Amino acid sequence: MNVGFIGLGAMGRHMAGHLLRGGHQLGVYARRADSAAPLVAAGATSYETPAKLAAASDVVFTIVTTSSDFEAVALGADGLIHGARSGSVVVDMETISPAVARSVAQMLETKGIDMLDAPVSGGPMGAEQAALSIMVGGKRAVFERVQPLFACMGKTITRVGDSGAGQVTKACNQLALLVTAQGVAEALNLAQRLGVDPAQVREVMMSGIAGSKVMEVFGKRMVEHNFDNGIDTRLYHKDLGIVLDLAHQSQLASPGAALVMQQINALMGQGKGRQDLASLITVLEGMSSSGSKT
């Protein structure tokens, strides 16, 4: 297929590269030429605007940052809607509001353009290894058409429902991940406070029912105080805001999300928004340190 890609950051550049190596004709759009340069050198074509990219593509993937970023790329003055042909497909793979995903899908549909919301889980490593989990909302026929492209980027590819369902699933994923990360941070901080090696405590927990991917990945970084890798905390802050908005709109209690948001707010206030989520443990360590002085 002729495939377009927008969002060539830590994850997007790997995902786009897999599509290119999968034998597809790849077009890219990037605000900074240096972001697209490696892919162009590998055979991709660079376009000046999202509209021009869309005009040359059967399917355009985006993995930008926020709901407003996606709206601008899709519907802005030079957005995809102004170039995409009837029958083409737009796939948003960033984590955004389900309401925005549905709204943009409706706008595109007026031009005969299909859309899937297909956020991912797996982080930069999953993107590099083409091992992402992809949760997809949209029409089944459109999903089946795009599935060979998803297979270039991920291992677990699931249509979870109609438009917006992919983003709802991702919100649920982030809620579970973040509440679990808070629990891991509290457990390891408690071990440290009581004079037991948190690295050994983590190893024991990994072999029992408390073991999890979050314990494996983020717990290791917490023990090592390695906060330079992974996904920026500021992005989890954005995602958790979506979760709390959904809970508020649905009049549902989400006390775990509210608690973790306060911890992440503290990190953001300390200027640690670009550190890995594992830096959650530093908030607890700071609280422990303050308590020991009283």
Element (H, E) at 92: strand 89-92
Residue with tokens 């508020």: 248
139 is a catalytic site residue? no
Alpha-helical regions (H) of the chain:
12-21, 33-41, 50-55, 67-75, 98-109, 123-128, 140-153, 165-193, 198-206, 213-214, 220-224, 233-250, 255-269, 280-292
Please return the burial class of 96, using the count of CB atoms within 10 Å of its CB with bins 0-12, 13-18 and 19+: buried
Quick check: 10 and 33 in contact, CB under 8 A?
A: no
How many angstroms separate the CA atoms of 234 and 265, rounded?
9
How many angstroms separate the CA atoms of 159 and 174, rounded?
18
How many angstroms separate the CA atoms of 131 and 224, rounded?
25
Backbone angles phi, psi at 254, to 5 degrees: -145, 70
- Coil, strand or helix: which one is 198? helix
**Strand bridging mode 132-137 / 120-121:** antiparallel
DSSP state of 84: P
Catalytic residue among 52, 170, 238, 272: 170
Quick check: 228 and 276 in contact, CB under 8 A?
A: yes
Quick check: 78 and 55 in contact, CB under 8 A?
A: no
Quick check: 203 and 168 in contact, CB under 8 A?
A: no
Q: So which residues are the catalytic ones?
A: 170
